[in-house]
Structure 1
């Protein structure tokens, strides 16, 4: 419960800062504009009535692994839900490599490995964080925005060969989600407080740079993913929306809005199979997994 209170407080601070900024600005000073819609995306419910959902990961068979408040779920391609693990200390980011599912528990700062063929857990390693991303060399990155307790730690790196942690590998402020660029040369992350999207070069993580800002006074950015054509899809938790952002131009549009909002808003977004095509899948703190089906002409495929 302490973890949830910390993050709730941070999101409320985001809203208060944005509200104060808007109240102080005159119309001539306003900097936020409403992003246009990205076409007619269809929103469908895949599963609901689950715990507060933090993250998701595709299983490469049309289904997903989901992290709840204390559970790891699996949802198959038909929408059937199974509890894989229970009694976990606030599971967070998920990454699947073959049959090995890596995930973090945020309350005790541990990294776990689950064999998805046997549901057996390995001994945990110390790796405190929230978001999780596997790099092509097998190392893992995590984020620690500061709402989990203590100051922000930017992006940290877990070196899988030595089982050692490089803290503040990229000292970006208030980092939340993580996504790998199509060319594998950079990682994208987002700032919970400012709505900024940040690009971190893998070889020179200190040379990180802001590439875009979501045009909303209170987005509360939580997570993001990248499509093969280089577009970013970003979960705006407080606003209850999903944005598409072009990191080359900084331009953005709204894929879907009204996906709950405030504390119960979207927490994670991934690209997954939808029959013969692809769709966006979104978890929310309202315990719902949603599918966002793109309109014709939208190129949507995950980074490999």
Structure 2
């Protein structure tokens, strides 16, 4: 499938769940064009949620560093934030202290890029806060105020909630790197907690 076709599909799927695509994204149809479709029952089965680490303040985004660490941007309503690293056993270290408005994180080999100047308010104003692509090719969306993970099949537009009860979720990603299960979805929240969403 070409780049343009992929962009159209993602834009339409995001529109269906209330995420506004970029103004430059090609959109062939609106939300009404997506017909309901039956999903594989196993794909939408409820998952269990456990705590990996807590007490970290307001967490905004996460990324795996491919060396056994989960990087989280720890923002603050007042004062500076930080970039922190969590290991699978829940140990937390500070990678970069005193960061103003840490936000999105991208890992490219040994290089970690951190978006700064982000504010927590931006996440609170929009219910869908972050998204990732799962190993099954589906989109997984963090519903911040809804406290839920929404799974969207990009081929059919079918969506379902696979986990709930995750307060003020700000970010999510599937495990990557030593010690992190690639079939488990890890989330961060403004309540300072990292959670794991397990297949049942």
TM-score, shorter chain, exceeding 0.5: yes
| Offset at residue 39 of structure 1 (A) | 1.1
Output one character per residue of 1:45-75: Cα deviation in whole Å (capped at 9) or x when no partner.
0000002000000122342000011010000
Does 2:162 align with 1:255? yes
Relative to 1, partners in 2 of residues 1:88 and 1:275: Cα closer, same or farther, differing over 3 Å? closer
2:145 corresponding residue in structure 1: 238
Out of 155, 175, 197, which is 1:272 matched to?
175
Aligned length: 152
| Offset at residue 275 of structure 1 (A) | 5.7
Out of 262, 273, 283, which is 2:188 matched to?
283
Higher RCO structure (Cα 8 Å, ≥6 apart): 2
3-state SS of the aligned residue for 1:68? strand
Relative to 1, partners in 2 of residues 1:71 and 1:253: Cα closer, same or farther, differing over 3 Å? same
Output one character per residue of 1:158-212: Cα deviation in whole Å (capped at 9) or x when no partner.
xxxxxxxxxxxxxxxxxx8xxxxxxxxxxxxxxx75xxxxxxxxxxxxxxxxxxx
Q: Which has the larger radius of gyration?
A: 1
| Offset at residue 276 of structure 1 (A) | 5.9
- Length-normalised TM-score, structure 2: 0.69
C-alpha separation between the residues in 1 aligned to 2:70 and 2:98?
20
Out of 20, 43, 66, which is 1:60 matched to?
66
C-alpha separation between the residues in 1 aligned to 2:131 and 2:164?
16
Structure 2, unaligned runs of 5 or more: 1-17, 19-40, 76-80
Does 2:127 align with 1:96? no
Output one character per residue of 1:245-300: Cα deviation in whole Å (capped at 9) or x when no partner.
1112111111111112xxxx1000100046665210000000000011113xxxxx
1:225 corresponding residue in structure 2: 132
| Residues 88 and 180, structure 2, Cα contact 8 Å, conserved in 1 | no
1:38 corresponding residue in structure 2: 44
Relative to 1, partners in 2 of residues 1:237 and 1:91: Cα closer, same or farther, differing over 3 Å? same
1:293 corresponding residue in structure 2: 198
| Residues 62 and 272, structure 1, Cα contact 8 Å, conserved in 2 | no
| Residues 85 and 94, structure 2, Cα contact 8 Å, conserved in 1 | yes
| Residues 66 and 72, structure 1, Cα contact 8 Å, conserved in 2 | yes
| Residues 53 and 66, structure 1, Cα contact 8 Å, conserved in 2 | yes
RMSD: 2.5
Out of 94, 112, 115, which is 1:83 matched to?
94
C-alpha separation between the residues in 2 aligned to 1:279 and 1:52?
22
| Offset at residue 98 of structure 1 (A) | 1.0
- Length-normalised TM-score, structure 1: 0.46
Structure 1, unaligned runs of 5 or more: 1-13, 15-35, 108-129, 131-146, 149-175, 177-191, 194-219, 296-304
| Offset at residue 38 of structure 1 (A) | 2.0
Relative to 1, partners in 2 of residues 1:254 and 1:85: Cα closer, same or farther, differing over 3 Å? same
2:54 corresponding residue in structure 1: 48
